A and B are shown apart, each in its own frame.
Chain A
Amino acid sequence: MADDSPASHRRDPIKSSVGNVAAQRRRQNAVTVGKERRESLVRAKRLCRVGPSGDGDVPGEENDMVTDEEGFLLDAQTSSAVEDLKSAIAYQGKGAMQKRVNALRELRRLLSKSEFPPVEAALKAGAIPLLVQCLSFGSPDEQLLEAAWCLTNIAAGKPEETKALLPALPLLIAHLGEKSFLPVAEQCAWALGNVAGEGEELRNVLLSQGALPPLARMMLPNKGSTVRTAAWALSNLIKGPDPKAATELIKVDGLLDAILRHLRKSDEELATEVAWVVVYLSALSNFATGVLVKSDAILLLVERLATSNSLQLLIPVLRSLGNLVAGDSHTTSTVLIPGHEITDGVIKVLVKCLKSDHRVLKKEASWVLSNIAAGSIEHKQLIYSSEAVPLLLRLLSTAPFDIRKEVAYVLGNLCVTPTGGDGKPNLIEEHLVSLVQRGCLSGFIDLVRSADIEAARLGLQFMELVLRGMPNGDGPKLVEQEDGIDAMERYQFHENEDLRNMANGLVDKYFGENYGIDE
C-alpha cells in the first residue's frame, strides 16, 4: 500500500482469541528470579552458635554487638588461633591430641562468637587445609566435631567463603555415615546444608559426591535434632532447578514413611523442616508428587494446617499442599473428592488461611483454591457455596496486588467449565451471574489496567465471559458501567500482540459500530 500509517489504525478483523480463563492448573514457575521467601528461621545458611546437641559451651552472656575495634581484635585473635592450630597439628609429642582439640575449640569459639564471624581472617590464615586434616578418618570424635563446627560457620559466610569448603566436602560427607558418632554426623550435615544453600553449582558438586543418600538416611530415626538438621540440609540440597535430586530422594527406602511419621507426630519445629522438604519434592519432581499424592501426605498437611498457628509451619505446609494440588490431577480427581471429609477439611483450612492477617498465607491459599477451582464442576460448586467466596470477593477489591491476582484466578475458574483444548471455555452462568452481582467485575477490570500482563490477560478473559455470558445481553452494559471500554482501549497499540488482539477483538465485537449492519 502506498502509505501504511493510516492502515495501522485500522483494527484487525475481529479475532477474538480470548482463550481460557486460567482453566488449567498453574504450577509456580520452576525458575525464579525473586528472593526466596523462606522466613528467617529457615534461611538457606545458618550459623551454628550453640552446638547442635545443646552441649556448646558458648556462654550466653557474650554480646552480639561487635564494634569495629572488637572486630579488629577478633580478626587478630582468629589469625593467631589458626596459627596455634597449625602448630598443634605439627606437634607430635605427648598430649598432642588434646592440644589439637584445644586449638580447634578456640578457633570454633571465635567463629561462633558473633553474628558476623571472622571468616575472612580464618580463611586468610589458611584454616581450610588444617581443618580438612583434622577431619581425617580415625580422628577422635571431639576433634571431628570441633572441626566440622568451624567449617559450618565458615560455610555460613559469603559465597566465595562457602566455596572455600570444596576440599572438605568428601570428608564431611564421609562422616555422615551410620558408624559416625551422632553429634559429629549432625554437625557435618549442618556444614553441608550451608554449602548446599549457596547455590546450584555447589549443590551439583555435593550430589555428585554422594551427599544425598546418607543425609536421607539421617531422617529415618526419631532423633529430633538430627532429623531437623538433616531435613533442613536436604531441603537445600534438592532445590534444583534440576528435579533429579528430588526424585532420587523420594526413592530412598523408608524416606516417605519417615516424612509422614514426622509430619504426623513431631513438634512444630521439626515438622517445619520436614514440610520444607515436601515443598521442594512436590515443586520439582513429578515422580515425588505422584508418590506423595498417593500417600497420607495431604491428610497430614491438612491436619497441620487445621491445628497449628505457627506461621513458620503454616507457610511450607500450605505451599506443599498447593504443589500437590497443582502438580498432579490425581489430587483433585481422586483424593479431594467433593463430599469426602478431607475435601471439606481442605476448604476449611484454606478459609482459615484466607482469614489470616498474613499476606503470604492469603496469597498461597488463594493459589491453592484456584487450582482446586480448576477441577470438576463439583469442585467449583463446593468452593462456590463455601465461606471462601465472600472472603475472596472482599480480597479482590481491597488486598494488595499480588493477592488480588491470585484471587482473580479462583473467581475466574469458578465461572468456567473444564475444557480440554484451548477453545473458549463454556461458562457456568449461575456462578458468573452471582459473582458479578456481588461486584467482582470492577476488580477484574482493575487488573486489566495493571502493568502486569498476566493479570491483564486474566482480567480480559473474565470480561469476555461477562460480555458473552451475562443473560439478556447485559454484559456490555455492565462492562461499560465499570468503565471497562476505557480499560480495554489501553491495549489498542500494546506491544504484546496477544493482549492487543484480545482487547481489540472484544471492543470490536461487543462495542464496534458495525457500520452498514445497523442501518
Chain B
Amino acid sequence: MEWNPETLQFLSQCFLHTLSPQPEPRRAAESSLSEAADRPNYGLAVLRLVAEPSVDEQIRQAAAVNFKNHLRTRWVPSNDLNAGPTFSPILDPEKDQIKTLIVSLMLSSSPRIQSQLSEALAVIGKHDFPKSWPTLLPELISNLQKAAQSSDYASINGILGTANSIFKKFRYQYKTNDLLLDLKYCLDNFAAPLLDIFLKTASLIDSTASSPGGGSPATLQPLFESQRLCCRIFYSLNFQELPEFFEDHMKEWMGEFRKYLTTNYPSLESSGDGLALVDQLRAAVCENISLYMEKNEEEFQGYLNDFASAVWSLLTNVSQSSSRDKLAVTAMKFLTTVSTSVHHTLFASEGVIPQICQSIVIPNVRLRDEDEELFEMNYIEFIRRDMEGSDLDTRRRIACELLKGIATNYKKQVTDIVSIQIQNLLSSFATNPSANWKDKDCAIYLVVSLATKKAGGTLVSTDLVDVQSFFLSVIVPELQSQDVNGFPMLKAGALKFFTTFRGLIQKPVAFQLFPDLVRFLGAESNVVHSYAASCIEKLLLVKDEGGKARYTSADITPCVPVLMNNLFNSLKFPESEENQYIMKCILRVLAVADISSEIAGPCIAGLTSILNEVCKNPRNPIFNHYLFESVAILIRRACERDASLISAFEGSLFPSLQTILANDVTEFLPYAFQLLAQLVELNKPPISPSYMQIFVLLLSPDSWRRSSNVPALVRLLQAFLQKAPNEVNQEGRLNQVLGIFNMLVSSASSDEQGFYILNTVIENLEYGVISPYMGNIWNVLFMRLQNNRTVKFLKSLVIFMSLFLIKHGATNLVDTMNAVQDNIFLVILEQFWIPNLKLITGAIELKLTAVASTRLICESPVLLDPAAARLWGKMLDSIVTLLSRPEQDRVEEEPEMPDIAENVGYTATFVKLYNAGKKEEDPLTDVKDPKQFLVASLAKLSALTPGRYPQIINENLEPANQAALLQLCGIYNCQIV
C-alpha cells in the first residue's frame, strides 16, 4: 500500500465509517479495511494516518486502535492453528519503518492516541525487544532525558509507561541466561536514568508540596503518576535478583519510598481521585518493599524497622476507610511477609498482635458497602471471590492471610485473641441483631477463612471454635429462619459455613436441615439460592470412612419432587437463567436419586426447554456442559430402570437435537452426537426411520470437516454400526463409511478414530459383506504405512489385524493381504507385527493381540511351514515379552508431535460427556487368560510333532523369554514337547 493522497483519503473514509451508527456503511468499511490489511505496508499507512495532523482526531483515534490490533495479530502471527484464522505477517522492511517512527509519534500524540500507540509499542517490544530492536532503549532514554530537562511530564509518563510495559516480562519468566542477558542490558542502560528521573520528580513533589497551599492538584498529579511508574519499573527490574546498581543506591530509593508512606499530601488527598493517585503510589511502594523483604532481606534489614512502623500506622488509618482497597491489600501483604520472615520477632512484643487484630484485621474483614453492592449486582463475581478462591486480592482475604502469617510463629496468641474477638462480635450481634448483623457476618467469615482448607468435602478443621456447637448456636438459627429473603448476606454466610464444614456436621443434624436448604432455593438473592444449590450438591458428595456416600438415594428420594421443582424454579430468577451452581445440583441429584417415571417426565421436560433456550445463544459453557451431562445421566439411569421410557425421551429430545444439527450450533454438535449415540445404543433393532435420517447426515463428508466433531461422530457411527448393521449394507452406505475411515486414517492426528470405525465394521458385519472391500482397505493401510508410519499407527494396525484374525480367521487375513501384493503378509508380520506387539497396552487390547498372535502361530499354514520356523520363533518371542513383562518395562513412552488436523471456522472443542460414555467391549469373551491360552495351544501343537518346537524356541527366544515360557508352562501344567 503506497502512502499517497488516495490512500489517505481511502483510509480516512473507512475509519470514519467504522464509527458510523448505521450498520451498513460500518460493515462495508470494516470489510474493506480487513481486506486492505493483507496488503504490504498497510500498518505503516495506518500509522502515518495517525500522525497526520490535518485529519480529524476522531478518525486518527480509530486508526490508532486499528493499528494496535493489526500489530497484535500480525507482528508475529500465531502458529496455533486452533487459535483461529491465520494472518499474513508484516514484512521486515515495514516492521523496521514502524519501529523507526513509533516512539517519536507516540510522544507527540494526544493522550488517547498515545495510550494506543504505547500498547502497540509494547506488542512489538514483547517480540523484538531487546535483541531485534536495539535502538528502542537508547531512543527512550534520550527522549526521557530531553523531556526531563523541560519537565515535560506528558512525555515523561509516556516513556515511563512504555518502559514499564516492555520490562514486565522480567516479573514472571523463569531465570535463564537469556532472560538475565536481556535484564542486564536493560539495567546497564536504564537503571541510572530511572533513578535520575525518580529523584528529580521527588524533589519537584517536595518543593511543590511545601509551597503555600500544598501545590495545585494539577501540578502534582502527573508527578505522582510518574513516581508510580518508576516504582513499577523498579519492581520489574528488581524481580529476578537484586541488581548491583539498585543495591548501591538503595538508600536513595528507600528514602523516597518511606516518605510516600509517611507523608500526607492534603491538596491532592482532599479529592477522591487525588487520594486514589497517592494511594496507587503507596501501593506500588508496598509491593517493592515486600519484594525486598522477601528476597533481599539481608540488604533490606537496615530499613525494616522504619518501614514496618510506617506501614503499620498507614494501615491503621486505611483500615478505617471504606475505599483504598489496593493500598490496604498491599500494605497487609508487606506485614504478612515480615511476619513469616526471620524478622518475625517484630511482632513478639507485648500487645502487638492484639492491636494488629483489633485495628487492622477486624476492620478489614468487616463487610463494606462495596461488598454489599457486589453481592447484589454481580453475584457470579461475588461467589467467585467468596467461595472459589478468586479473592486473592480482597481486603477480607488478605487480612486473614496476615493472621495466618503471624500464626506461623505465634499460633497460640493468634488463636486466643481471634477466639475472643469472635465471641465479642457474636455478643454485639446478640444485643441488637438487626443493627449489628455485620458483626455476625464478620465472625462467620473469620471462622471459615481461618479454617485449614480442605478439598473434596473431607474434614475441615479449625482451632478457633468448636464447630458442632458453633453450627448449632450460630448457623442453624439462620438456616431455620422462616424468611428466606431477610438478611441475605447472613444467610449466604451460614450456607457457606454449612458447605465448608459439611464433613463435620453429623448426618442427623444435617439431614434435618435438608428441607431448609430446599426452601432457600427459593430465595430471591442469586447468591443465596446458588449457595443453597451448591450446599445440597456438595452434601451429596460427602463420603464417610471407607468411601461410602453419606447421603444415599433412600435419604433424598422422598423430597426429590419438591427439590427438583425448586431447582427448576430457581432457574427462572433474573440472572440465574444459566446458573451453573443450580445446574450442577440438578446433575448431582439425578445421579443420586431414584429416577422413577414420575420424576423423569418433568425433568426431561424441564431440561429440554432449557436446552431449546440455550441453543439460541450458547453463552456459559460450564452451565451447558452440566445441562448435557444432566440429560445424559437422566436417560441412562431412567432407561436402566425402565427401558420403555426411551421412546418418551426420544420424543422430547429429538426436536432439540434436530435444531442443533439444522442450525449448526457449533458448540453443541459434539454433545448432540454423543447423546444420539447414547440413544441409538439404547434402541432395540430395527432402528427407527428418524435415526436413519441422521445416519445419512452422518455419512456426508461435510459433517466431518470440523475436527472437534470427529470423536463424537465416530462414537455415533460406531453406535449405528452395532445397532443397524443391515442398514449399513444398503444404498452404498458401507462405501461411505469406509470413505470416512480412509479420510481419518490418512492423518496421524485422527488415525485412531479411523481404526475405531474400521474395527467396529469388522466386528459387526458379516464377512461376506466386507470381503469385497478388503483389498481396498489394505491398500489404504499400506499406503499410510509407507507414507507416515508412527508408533501409534503401528499399534492400531496390529490391533486391527488381530481383531480381523479373531473374527474371520487366519486364512482370510493372510489371503486378503496377499491378494493385494504377493507374499506381503510375511513382510508385514516380520517388519511390523512382531516388533510392535510388545508395545501394546490396555487389558483388552493385550488379550486380543496375544490370542490372535498365538492362533496365528498355531493355526496358520504359512507359519507352520518349516521354512517359516525363524519367524515362528520370533513371533513367539514377542508374544512372551508381551505377556511376561510389566508394561513399563516393555513400552517406552514415545513423544509424538500431535499434528493438527484441518480446522474449519472457529473452534468448538470436543468435551466428552461422562454420562453418555461408551462401554468398552471385549471381543474375546471366551478366552479368559491369554497366558494359559498360549501355553495350552503350544502344548497341543507340539504334541503333533514332538521335538520340533523346543529346538525352534531354543534358537529364537531370548534366554529371559525362554525362562518365562518355561515358568508359564509350569504354572498351567502344560508341556511343550
Contacts and interface: CB of A to CB of B under 8 A. Distances in A.
Given A33-B243, A33-B244, A2 B619 contact: yes
A35 B246 CA distance: 9
Interface string A20-49: 000000000111111110000000000000
B788 interface: no
Count class of interface residues, chain A: 35 or more
A36 B244 contact: yes
A513 B457 CA distance: 9
B454 interface: yes
Contact of A400 (B171, B298, B906, B908): B298
Most buried by A among B183, B241, B592: B241
B384 A9 contact: yes
Given A402-B295, A451-B291, A480 B458 contact: yes
Contacts of B633: 516
Contacts of A480: 452-455, 458
A10 B291 contact: no
Interface in A135-184: none
Nearest to B580: A6
Interface stretch (A287-295, A410-418, A489-497): A489-497
B618 A496 contact: no
A6 B580 CA distance: 10
Contacts of A498: 174
Interface string B535-556: 0000001010000000000000
Given A7-B621, A495-B171, A485 B241 contact: no
B952 interface: no
B389 interface: yes
Most buried by A among B390, B619, B623: B619
A31 B295 contact: no
B622 A6 contact: yes
B915 A516 contact: yes
B618 A401 contact: no
Given A6-B619, A7-B621, A490-B392, A30 B177 contact: yes
Contact of A29 (B172, B177, B580, B621): B177
A135 B859 CA distance: 99
B917 to A, nearest CB: 9
Contacts, number: 131
A495 B244 CA distance: 27
A1 interface: yes
Contacts of B180: 29, 31-33
B174 A453 contact: yes
Given A6-B622, A446-B340, A492-B390, A452 B294 contact: yes
A3 B457 CA distance: 31
Interface string B379-391: 0000010000110
A378 interface: no
Interface string A321-336: 0000000000000000
A360 to B, nearest CB: 10
Contacts of A515: 584, 587-588, 629, 914
A33 B453 contact: no
Contacts of B174: 453-454, 457, 496, 498
Nearest to B666: A1
A30 B178 CA distance: 10
B238 to A, nearest CB: 10
Contacts of A468: none
A351 to B, nearest CB: 22
A406 to B, nearest CB: 14
B171 A452 contact: no
Count class of interface residues, chain B: 35 or more
A35 B187 contact: no
B893 interface: yes
Contacts of A494: 172
A494 B621 CA distance: 22
A208 interface: no
A28 to B, nearest CB: 11
Interface string B869-898: 000000000000000000000000100000
Contact of B244 (A1, A35, A516): A35
A450 B404 CA distance: 15
A518 B342 contact: no
B591 interface: yes
A306 B171 CA distance: 41
B456 interface: yes
B621 A10 contact: yes
A95 interface: no
A33 B241 contact: yes
Nearest to B173: A496
A302 to B, nearest CB: 28
Contacts of A453: 172, 174
Interface string B167-184: 000011111110011011
Interface in B581-625: 584, 587-588, 591-592, 617-623
Nearest to B893: A423
B619 A454 contact: no
A466 to B, nearest CB: 15
For the residues of A in contact with B, the DSSP-based class is: loop
B430 interface: no
Interface in A474-488: 477, 480-481, 483, 485-486
A517 interface: yes
A398 interface: yes
Contacts of A402: 295
Contacts of A451: 239, 290-291, 294-295
B295 A516 contact: no
Interface string B204-245: 000000000000000000000000000000000001111110
A507 interface: yes
B667 A31 contact: no
Contacts of A483: 404, 452-453
Contacts of A507: 455
Contacts of B452: 480-481, 483
A485 B455 contact: yes
A1 B454 contact: no
B297 interface: yes
B751 to A, nearest CB: 21
B548 to A, nearest CB: 11
A511 interface: yes
Nearest to B389: A489
Contacts of A32: 180, 241
Contacts of A401: 294-295, 297, 341
B592 A34 contact: no
Contacts of A30: 177
B711 to A, nearest CB: 13
B184 A511 contact: no
Nearest to B449: A486
A495 B341 CA distance: 25
Contacts of B152: none
B371 interface: no
A485 B453 contact: yes
A125 interface: no
A491 to B, nearest CB: 10
Interface in A388-426: 398-402, 423
Q: Sorted from nearest, which 4 A-B pairs have the closest CB atoms?
A: A511-B455, A31-B180, A516-B914, A35-B244
7 contacts: A6-B621, A6-B622, A451-B294, A489-B389, A511-B455, A516-B633, A516-B915
Interface of B: 171-177, 180-181, 183-184, 187, 239-244, 247-248, 290-291, 294-295, 297-298, 340-342, 384, 389-390, 392, 404, 452-458, 541, 543, 580, 584, 587-588, 591-592, 617-623, 629, 633, 667, 893, 906, 908, 914-915
Given A399-B342, A423-B893, A496-B172, 11 more contacts: A31-B184, A33-B183, A401-B341, A451-B294, A477-B458, A483-B453, A486-B453, A495-B171, A511-B455, A515-B584, A516-B914
Interface of A: 1-3, 6-7, 9-10, 29-36, 359, 398-402, 423, 446, 450-454, 457, 477, 480-481, 483, 485-486, 489-490, 492-496, 498, 507, 511-513, 515-519
